[in-house]
Structure 1
Amino acid sequence: MGPRGRGSCVSSLLLYILLCSGEFNNRWSTSAAPTLPTAGSTGLIISGRRFVTVFLENHSSSAVLTLNIITYDKTANVNVSIYSPPLHRSQTIPASSSAVINLEPTYMLKGNDVSRKAILITSDVDISVVVLNTRYNTQDAFLSLPVANLGTTYYVVTYNGVKSNQRQFAVANPGSERVLVTITVVGLVEYNATEYANDQTFSFILEANQAVQFQSEVDMTGTKVASAKPVAVFSGNRCIMLSSADCDHIAEQLLPVTKWSYSFAVFPLLDKDSLDIITIMAAENDTTVNVYSIEGNVNVFLREGSHINLTVTSGMIVNSAKAVMVSYLSTGGSTSLVQSFDPFLVNVIPPAYFSAHYVFVTIANFYNYVLIVSSTPTSSQIILDGKPLASFQTENTTFWDFTATRVYLGRTASRYVIFHADSLFGIYVYGVARGESYAYSMGGKKNISSKCLSLVPL
């Protein structure tokens, strides 16, 4: 699949004004929540020049592994490197376009094992990367986090299904030096032929270019990953069976605790016959969480590494006195367009990380959507591909001070630019098909040059 581009001179000028306005330094607050500390010390960045990723094990060894590269205002010279089996691939991708880099299935992680399959992606200019792990009827996607976002403390999220399946997580070393990693177990984890149960800990050294994958037949949610230097952590299920007849691969790159937040607006991603689930994870003891919905309020007290799963019936507001992580599991099901699609997993974006501008891509042969979560007065003024949202097929849901606008984008692979002149929002990009699905979320600013010298279509 070759590069693709979109844009107009008018939207380029508006984006230039937007990017130079300093809007990306703002933080969102709602009247429903008290004033709380800003999540993360440096915010969240969705573009960069250095990434590390892995492909968690899929249901089949024949999975197709793809890196979807998004460029902005400059042509990007992108390099993909893997230590073993050795691979080095370079590709020049034009400005304001996107391209797909395919990798062989041999680079997928397998079993409980340490490998040199950490995938290092570098670029001479800022890019964004969407990772897609595909096998017929079982796949998922996630947004790769630039190395600057990585941290030293994570908590794993996996899920139980109606049929036995492998829960899994992986840790990758993004640097050139060895890293000490310590795992505090919830459930059951095997390492180096030794099993570790609840509250047991073990440590190991992760060399440069190394990644380690852990699999278990039991839920590992709440397992703590602590490291002496920043690492990347990925979590999900090899193949999970929920409401549909088939199992499906789910995967997400986890946010480190330093990037967690205090308030979240959650909306159902699709109108369907089965309810989805959010998982709220705590990193500290005595974490008080309040959840508001039209069904009523839920108040819970969480300790370090504990979580609560809640069904998503309508719009929800999650407020916490201490930073938490919220994950969204679509349980699959059926819609008016698809008779039966499989689950997917995606990070919930807190309003603290809403931004005013995103560039995203959709995947071919899916019924593709973008869900835009914004403040109620501004949702109608968002511009998608140079046109107001009213030009598209949309559905709106409002709860408290937020509106979720679901936009149907068709079944083609395309690159889109979405922005608002002066307000912030978050997006969820996802697609469903017979027995298939994918999803990723975007929240956080694009890396912007402080000089803003060039006027180039984004």
Structure 2
Amino acid sequence: MHHFLCVIMYGMTMGSVTIALNIFFLSTFARPVQTAGGKGLHYGVIANIIPDGSANKSKITTRGTLSCAQACFTKSMEGSCTIASYNKNTKECTLSTSTVRDLMHNEDYDEVTLFPQSGCDVKDLPTVDNGVYEKTPFMPGFYSIRCAEGYDISLASKLNSFICDVTKTWIYNNVTCIPEAELKFTEGRSFVATFMGNYEIPNKTFHLYIVTSDYDVNSTFQYSTVTVNIPNTSFQKTYTIAKYLEIELSNVNISDAIYISTTDPVTVFTMNKNQYSTGGMLVFPLISLGKTYVIATTPYDDLESSLVIIPIDIEAKFTLSFPDNTTENVYITYGKSYELKRSGLSGTYIESDEPIAVFAGEKCANLPDAGNYSCDHIIEQMPPLDALDHEYIIAPTKPRSYFGLLVVATSQDTTHVSINSETDTPIYTSYLKRHDTFYQTFDNAQHLSVKATEPVLVVQYGVSISVDNMSQGDASMFVVPGINHFTSKYRFVVPDGYNTNKVILIYNITNGNDPRAGLKLNGNATYLAEMTSIKLNALEDYGVCYLDIEAGVHELENTETFGAVLYGQGRYIEYAWNLGMYMWK
């Protein structure tokens, strides 16, 4: 999620007087920039937003050294925001104009307290296409990029700030302006999903979980409508959704294309559930999909491994290149799906002429190999190649004793992959090319990092219960979010029927930064005392925490971005999926 810096266009008169300030909105992001030598940006937070009872006014109060006007952040880029009055003693601003209605909750506001210097030359900054640099009034040495109409900043996890430091050197991230339609998140209004075979389900009952992206977690007001369309069965139905909606489908066939459209942004999860075999996943919105993919199913050759490909437009032509150097060309039209079962699917490379949705999994998985029986269903939607990262933090799924990790190469060039310990000591290194995979089973005492010279797909498995002989859990699978996939807010459903449900939270804790104090669960401050530190490299450290959570619909948010994975364990059963990803193009 990104925020917008309000740049003041006119001067102000200090004191408790009425003023009129027009404020223009520039994209900026709430993630500290870590630079060589341990430098960083300090953050304050706007303390409160106070409605005054009218439809077009609100007040905000601030903490920190900046004035209210200088610290104004808003969600909207349309129009201007006028500060009607300002009180220097209380640091209260009264905001007017209808744009106040678009203001986000107070925890989404950030006040950037910077101490920039003068003396740098803006000509030394890199050229930016489809955008211009603008100097922030009252803050010498501080610039931001304003993207042209129809464009926005490409990296939601990066800070759009260009700061002249005390050595007269610019501190900045590489920021580009891209078309707004290319911004990639896992919330959206249009999706396509499918269900794959589950060994223990003869009656084909499947679950869709749909969570609205903007709601009061303590209310149940009507929010949106959802339409589910399954062309292969002529099924189409419209539902009303408040906070979330669970849809149980019984008249759907394996690998059917299930199109989901909503009037407002939502997050979608699916679950194929039975007493002893469960598979579920996060579903990506159509706008986040791409044309090229690599596949991860089981880490070993298995005849029951399968993939499903669904077009999102009128038609798609694609080529599958398998690890055994064979290929297959496929043409498919809207509403249809392509299903393939064969051995050795992990590492398969797919290239299409149009965006497609790709799903992969196993009907009867035994992990890490066929010698460890569990026969559990696993499934995940594959992220497109241009959304993959090259750095990942890996956390075990406690209290299980072991977990598996699969790395799938994407590049034709040689990719160096290193799996490192908590202290950044290499445990395994490998050189991979496209179609190559690397798998290893680890004990649950280990927190790891994965680093690669090229983008890679990383998948984590819960192993068969026969591996650790525990009464809880079994085989499961989820796509691991990379450190650049993190966002600051997640809304999700925790399914019922499991003895243990936990969320893995991954934070950037570089230079002693501790974001745990900013965590809120369903609007309530939640502090997690235990945290394991992981050194990613010489300059960056990450922390891993675990949150026990009950069945139901939830919202997790923080003042800084973080990674989040949900998993649940019961007797001979386990599910796992990541809760959301920022997916760039």
TM-score (norm 1): 0.80
CA shift in 2, pair 1:47/1:11, >3 Å: farther
State the match for 2:292 in structure 1. 153
Secondary structure of the residue that 1:261 maps to in structure 2? coil
* Structure 1 segments unaligned to the other structure (5+ residues): 1-8, 29-34, 110-116, 187-197, 448-458
Provide the rounded CA distance (Å) in 1 between the counterparts of 2:184 and 2:230.
26
**Secondary structure in structure 1 of the residue aligned to 2:233:** coil
Q: 1:36 to 1:227 in 2, by over 3 A?
A: farther
Equivalent position to 1:368, from 489, 497, 501: 501
* Counterpart position of 2:89: none
**Alignment partner of 2:487: what SS?**
coil
- 2:186/2:580 contact within 8 Å kept: yes
Distance change >3 Å, CA 270–CA 301, structure 1 → 2:
same
Alpha-carbon distance, 1:36 to partner: 10
Distance between the aligned counterparts of 2:49 and 2:278, measured in 1?
Answer: 37
Q: Does 1:380 align with 2:520?
A: no
Are 1:279 and 1:310, in contact at CA under 8 Å, matched by a contact in 2? no
**Deviation of residue 204 (structure 1)?**
1.8
Which one-letter code corresponds to 1:283 in the other structure? S
Q: Say if 2:158 is the partner of 1:27.
A: yes
Map of 1:205 onto structure 2: 331
5 Å matches for 1:54-203? 54-59=194-199, 60-73=201-214, 75-94=223-242, 97-104=243-250, 106-109=252-255, 117-160=256-299, 166-175=304-313, 177-186=314-323, 198-203=324-329
Aligned to 2:447: 315
Post-superposition offset of 1:267: 1.2
Q: Does residue 305 of structure 2 align to residue 305 of structure 1? A: no
Residue in structure 2 matched with residue 416 of structure 1 by the alignment: 554
Matching residue of 2:28:
none
Q: Say whether the 8 Å CA contact 2:569–2:575 is kept in structure 1.
A: yes
Structure 1 CA distance, aligned partners of 2:190 and 2:214? 17
Distance 1:263 1:273, change over 3 A: closer
- The AA in structure 2 aligned to 1:308 is F
Give the C-alpha shift of residue 101 in structure 1. 0.7
- Runs of 4 or more, structure 1, over 4 Å off, are 9-15, 18-24, 35-39, 334-338
Picking from 567, 577, 580, the partner of 1:430 is 567
Contact 1:368 1:409 in 2 (8 A): yes
Q: TM-score, normalised by structure 2?
A: 0.64
8 A Cα contact 1:334 1:340, kept in partner? no
1:427, 1:235 → 2: CA distance? 21
Q: Partners of 1:404 and 1:102 in 2: how far apart?
A: 34
Residue 369 of structure 1 deviates from its aligned partner by: 0.9
Per-residue displacement from partner, 1:43-79 (whole Å, max 9, x unpaired)? 6401100001110111133242111010132611100
Name the CA distance, whole Å, in 2 between partners of 1:288 and 1:11: 53
Equivalent residue for 1:16, pick from 85, 92, 105: 105
Moved more, 198-207 or 56-65: 56-65
Written as runs of structure 1 = structure 2, the 5 A alignment for 1:198-347 is 198-216=324-342, 218-242=343-367, 245-294=373-422, 296-297=425-426, 298-313=428-443, 314-333=446-465, 339-347=471-479
Q: Secondary structure at the match of 1:107?
A: coil
Q: Is the 8 A contact 2:154 2:175 kept in 1?
A: no
% identical equivalent positions: 20
The higher radius of gyration belongs to 2
- Give the drift of 1:215: 0.8
In structure 2, the CA distance between the partners of 1:266 and 1:92, relative to structure 1 (3 Å rule), is: same
Which residue matches 1:398? 533
Moved more, 311-320 or 222-231: 311-320
8 Å contact kept, 1:334–1:341? no
1:4 — aligned with what?
A: none
Look up the equivalent residue of 1:27 and give its one-letter code. Answer: K
Shift of 1:362: 0.2
- CA deviations over 1:188-218 (Å, ceiling 9, x no partner): xxxxxxxxxx2121212111111111112x2
C-alpha distance after superposition, 1:355-414 (max 9, x if no partner):
111111100011211111112333422122233333x7x75322121111111114xx31
Q: Report the Cα distance in structure 2 between the residues aligned to 1:36 and 1:302, rounded to whole angstroms.
A: 29
In the alignment, is the contact (CA less than 8 A) between 2:189 and 2:265 conserved in 1?
yes
- Structure 1 vs Structure 2 CA RMSD: 3.3
Partners of 2:311 and 2:157 in 1: CA distance = 32
Q: Distance in 2 between matches of 1:43 and 1:371?
A: 25
User: Amino acid of the residue matched to residue 471 of structure 2?
Assistant: Q
SS of match in other structure, 2:460: strand
Equivalent residue letter for 1:130: F
Q: Secondary structure at the match of 2:105?
A: helix
- The answer to whether the 8 Å contact 2:224/2:264 transfers is yes
- 2:347 touches 2:408 (CA, 8 Å); kept in 1? no
Q: In 1, Cα distance between the equivalents of 2:50 and 2:479?
A: 29
Shift, 1:26, TM fit: 2.7
How many corresponding residue pairs? 405
Give the SS at the match of 1:349: coil
**5+ long unaligned stretches in structure 2:** 1-47, 52-59, 61-102, 111-152, 160-171, 216-222, 536-540
Whole-Å separation in 2 of the counterparts to 1:335 and 1:368: 21
Q: RCO (CA 8 Å, sep 6+): is it higher in 1 or 2?
A: 1
Counterpart among 526, 529, 532 of residue 389 in structure 1: 526
* Contact 1:290 1:299 (C-alpha < 8 Å) held by counterparts: yes
